[in-house]
Amino acid sequence: MTKSTLPRGMTQGSAPHIWRYVPTPARRAAGWASVTLLNPDKTHMTKGQALDAAEAINRLIDDYEAGIPVQGQAWAHLNPNIATGITVSRAASDSIGALMTAYIASDEFRKGLSEATRNDMAGVKGDRGRLYRLIETLAGYKEGCPQKRDFPPAAYERAMIDYNTAIERTRNWPVSALVPPRPKAGEGRIKGPLELAYANLAGMINERTGKPQITQAAAILRYTSMWLSWVKKEKGFIDRNPVQDIDVTEPEGRIAIWPQDRIEAVLTEARRQGWHSVAFACELALELSWSQRDILKLKWGDIRDGRILGTRSKTGIKTETTLTAYGLDIIARIRDHYTRENGENVTALPTQHLIRVDKRYGHEQDSSVGQVWARGYFRHIFREIRDAVFAGYNGTTYTFQDFRDTAITRMWEAGLDFPQIASRSQHSLAHIQKVIEKHYGKITRTISDAAAEKMNAYNARSGIFKT
């Protein structure tokens, strides 16, 4: 059986002997989880065993969606709704759940949106997306799923039954329930379920910052509007998009600029701990202003004639970024490091990643050594390094993403125009001016000082002011 004829959902894992089952985005949104296919003794299944398991999971899901009871069957634990005793028949075609599933399976979703947007909306690798957060909020669970740590065992089981029952009931609402009736003459505007849900989400307080979580609330409403626009256009179950009647406060965005002394401290600490690749990643982020994800996927073949060819994961925008002298020095030091540590001629390995897990003293045999970083593992190590040098510093928690903000702010201060900034930041030309003016256009002391220097030069040339 070839890869193209594997059972639906069966895929190879991170090594040839590892097989996984990954549901479609629509089924993940309905509660089905991904799983590594293991035998009862926790050994990895052979390919033949994995084929049988994947086919069994598909039969189970088909039966469940047809309304056939499947409690107690193998693999039933992949959907928490089954354990509650809820039997979910195929919902009415105009229900919220059915229409979310249809949208996630549509060409407009699968082909018209970037991978990052699809994942944020529908969820990925066990994470539930923004559309599921909408259902939770409409169901009365704005804080999300009950957490086991907050309940005694028996109470937690009861809480989960109540939660799953409420979620399923909400998924079965007709989508028209989200559209409030039009007010009669002389009446004020009627607030519908979506406006109330938005108010609940926007009023939640972030425990770290102490500020309302308007970013999450705005994102959920933005994606809800995209979904409902599709429902109106393609299905006709609603006559208007109710999100367009809601006054959504768009967040200004969190912009934090790394202090130079903290940058140097993090780089020093990363190297002291033996995480040279983490230090290189930080330096590349400051050079390119790219995200962690895009830095980690860089390969040696992407570097050509002093430029780096890249595609922004979030938008799919392609750029050919010219490296500065500092950037060329970073690349040279990365090349020298791998030559010194591993004897590799990296220029002959175009498919090899630039940033790979380090071989550190005492950890030389770790299976991840020399491999591309998993994003979660990288975030964990970066935070450990950062926290080692940031204890009690100004009350601000700087992130890897803040390197991007720092780099773009430096470009703005250096006097780069909008297309020049976009050539490095991977923003589109259509949006770069709006992004800069909204997030980075603060008149800093550097810009003010440069303005004064230019005026001094002008005044000296013109002779207007005599000193």
Residues 6+ apart with CB under 8 A from 94: 174, 175, 176, 235, 237
Arithmetic mean of pLDDT over the chain: 82
pLDDT for residue 25 is more than 50: yes
Task: Please tell me the total number of residues recorded for the chain in this structure.
Answer: 467
The predicted structure's pLDDT at residue 302: 93
pTM: 0.52
Average pLDDT estimate for 367-384: 85
Between 397 and 10, the more confident residue is 10
Between 80 and 201, the more confident residue is 201
Confidence of residue 274 (pLDDT cuts 50, 70, 90): very high
pLDDT for residue 24 is more than 60: yes
Between 447 and 296, the more confident residue is 296
pLDDT for residue 328 is more than 50: yes
For 299, 312, 337, 346, the CA distances from 354, given in Å and listed in that order, are: 5, 17, 11, 9
Count other Cβ atoms within 10 Å, centred on residue 21: 23
Instruction: Establish how many alpha carbons lie within 13 A of residue 68's alpha carbon, considering only the half-sphere containing its beta carbon.
Output: 10
Please, what is the angle between helix 130-138 and helix 153-171, to 10°? 100
Q: Which single residue is written with the structure tokens 């390919």?
A: 47
Confidence of residue 181 (pLDDT cuts 50, 70, 90): confident
Q: At 174, give phi and psi (nearest 5°).
A: -70, 145
Q: At 270, give phi and psi (nearest 5°).
A: -60, -45
pLDDT for residue 126 is more than 70: no
The predicted structure's pLDDT at residue 388: 87
**Model confidence over 216-263: pLDDT tens digits?**
888 899 999 999 999 999 999 999 999 988 877 655 566 778 888 889
The predicted structure's pLDDT at residue 439: 64
The predicted structure's pLDDT at residue 296: 94
Confidence of residue 90 (pLDDT cuts 50, 70, 90): very low
Contact present, 231 and 212 (Cβ < 8 Å): no
Average pLDDT estimate for 155-176: 86
The predicted structure's pLDDT at residue 396: 60
Please, what is the angle between helix 276-288 and helix 325-342, to 10°? 160
**Model confidence over 139-160: pLDDT tens digits?**
988 888 888 878 887 788 888 8
Q: At 437, give phi and psi (nearest 5°).
A: -65, -35
Share of the chain above pLDDT 90, in %: 22
| CA nearest neighbour of 53 among 72, 64, 40, 68 | 40
The amino acid present at 400, given as its one-letter code, is F
Confidence of residue 330 (pLDDT cuts 50, 70, 90): very high
Give 369-378's long-range contacts (Cβ < 8 A, gap of 24+): 370/342, 372/296, 372/297, 373/277, 373/296, 375/292, 375/293, 375/296, 378/278, 378/281, 378/292, 378/296
The predicted structure's pLDDT at residue 360: 75
Q: At 33, give phi and psi (nearest 5°).
A: -105, 155
pLDDT for residue 367 is more than 80: no
Confidence of residue 282 (pLDDT cuts 50, 70, 90): very high
Please, what is the angle between helix 214-230 and helix 96-104, to 10°? 80
Structure tokens at 172: 């079965």
Q: How far is Cα 354 from Cα 76, in angstroms, rounded to an integer?
A: 42
